[in-house]
Amino acid sequence: RAKEMGRSCVQFYSDSMERYAIYQVEMQRKLFVALEQGLLTLYFQPEIDVKTGEVIQLEALVRWINPDGSMISPAEFIPMAEKMGMINNIGDYILNEACAHIRRWNQQGYDRVVVAVNLSVREFQQTDFIEKVKNTILSHGISARSLVFEITESVFMEDMERVLKVMHEFKRFGIRFAVDDFGTGFSSFSYLQKLPVDFLKIDRSLVQSVVQGVKESAVVECIVDIGRHLQMKVVAEGIEDEVTLLHLERLNCDYAQGFFICRPQPAEEMEPWLSRLR
């Protein structure tokens, strides 16, 4: 084999490739089973108005919880699902779950509840995406105003014209948009003013840096200003302590989200937050 031919490097390379391929196939099978068996559930984290403390919306964050209680992070399995071509099935499931929760909360009298759902680029690329989303919303009998779609800048790297068309169609229907993780990666201001976006979410790495110094703080202040001038509400993600929250308040940031306010929780734990809905 390769080793006998003295190509130990190639041998090593193909061994680890093989192990990785096996791992991927195994994870794919497990994720498929998890989806089938309903092991994927939504947790929720409130986004609050910095000034009033009112709850603006709840972000839905998917969790993979095994029967033994162990949890697998979406940061791990969502990128994997994207690679494996399973993200659209998972995305359909998540949207359906989110709508079911909205309907249940509506029935409990929380008719102003708004849930923010994270979307992957791949989901956005589906030709029947708009149709599917409309059908899901209509079948649950909820208002499109109770949904916000969170998208990252990677969506805009695709066919911008098409992305804009799809976004405007959703907007006409009543669904609003948030730009997630803003300020990281390939942040570009050139597209921002073109987008029909209601919320700008500043990435937590930037948010958490404000306490480090005046320059870090100035960067975040500028993003807050840009959001304001573009008529977007600005959300600071990843607030882990009171000092940071107070700092963001001084920078006139509109909304805040983070462990200091509330960790992502199962739907049943959301009651106290639902009663603070704006």
Residues that bind Mg ion (CB under 5 A): 118, 150, 180-181, 237
Amino acid at position 53, single letter: G
Environment class of residue 113 by beta-carbon count within 10 Å: exposed (0-12), middle (13-18) or buried (19+)?
buried
Residue 62 touches which member of Mg ion, ligand C2E, none, C-beta under 5-8 Å by kind: ligand C2E
User: Of ligand C2E, Mg ion, none, which one does residue 114 interact with (CB within 5 to 8 Å by kind)?
Assistant: none
Give the residue with the Cβ less far from ligand C2E, 11 or 198: 198
Provide the minimum distance between the beta carbon of 47 and Mg ion in the complex, in angstroms, as a whole number: 10
2/130 with CB nearer ligand C2E: 130
What is the nearest approach in angstroms of ligand C2E to the Cβ of residue 120?
4
Closest approach, Cβ 78 to ligand C2E, in A, equals 5
- Is residue 177 within 8 Å of residue 149, measured between CB atoms? yes
The CB-nearest residue to ligand C2E is 258
Q: Which residues bind ligand C2E (CB under 6 A)?
A: 45, 60-62, 73-75, 78, 94, 118-120, 150, 180-181, 204, 237-240, 258-259, 264
Minimum separation from the CB atom of position 191 to Mg ion (A): 18
Query: Nearer Cβ to Mg ion, position 116 or 137?
Result: 116
Question: What distance in Å separates the CA atoms of residue 96 and residue 103, rounded to the nearest whole number?
Answer: 11
Angle CA 267–272–274, to nearest 5: 70
Give the nearer residue to ligand C2E in terms of CB position, either 48 or 61. 61
Q: Quote the DSSP letter at residue 186.
A: T
CA distance 22 to 30: 12
- Cα–Cα distance between 39 and 37 in angstroms, integer? 6
Per-residue tokens: 188: 């570009």
Q: Is 117 exposed, middle or buried (0-12, 13-18, 19+ CB in 10 A)?
A: buried
Least distance CB 137 / ligand C2E (angstroms): 17
